Amino acid sequence: MKVNEIFYSLQGEGLHTGTAAVFLRLSGCNARCAFCDTQHQEGKEMSEEEIVSAVSHYPTRHIVITGGEPTLQITALLTTLLHQAGFYIQIETNGSTPLPEGCCIDWVTCSPKSLPVRIQRIDELKVLFDGERPLYADQAAITAMMPGIKELRLQPIDSGDEEKNKKTLKETINYILSNPKWKLSLQTHKIINIQ
């Protein structure tokens, strides 16, 4: 597997915000989003055993597998070994490809960038908001396809412009107040200046 980076921090987004987690960022992505902050092609080849050994050095047993698009590389062997080591496995995916057969994930956060969504299950749907509308996917179609979604999160896009971000946040809040099935998701790791 090609690993972009492994690091220890707090989960900054969604239901698990504030949870100490080890992050396994895999290289490569099938989407090319203009706002993405990861160099997805860089990385180091590691076996599943090497990954489990590396992440087991941290005191937490919560792992967030992200990317890039992690479903392009994740394996059933990796999830089995992580569970054997006591890890709770969260994945952050764009949902465009299914999980490989045999992969057992405890929590699936999906931030779709296009339809159809092909991931088999979504626990938390995170939709980006540009200040005018939810982006990239018809959330009504997704929630109809995936009736078991537990959390609906709306996250303002970080444009890199402080004034624009304030306006986008205000509009996101207004949208949620008019559509209370959604909850606000902020990138708290950026707000508190951690990785």
Residues marked active site are found at 23, 29, 33, 36-38, 92, 189
Could you give the C-alpha distances from 26 to 23, 134, 185, in angstroms and in order? Answer: 10, 26, 23
Sole residue written with tokens 């950026």: 190
From the DSSP assignment, how many helices (H) and strands (E) are in the chain?
A: 5, 9
Helix axes 76-84, 48-55, angle to 10 degrees: 30
CA distance 187 to 163: 16
E-only strand ranges, 58-179: 62-66, 88-93, 107-110, 124-129, 151-156
Could you give the C-alpha distances from 21 to 26, 37, 61, 80, 171, in angstroms and in order? Answer: 16, 19, 7, 18, 30
Contact assessment for residue 10 and residue 21, using Cβ atoms and an 8 Å cutoff: yes
* Closest residue by Cα to residue 10 from 18, 188, 24, 191: 18
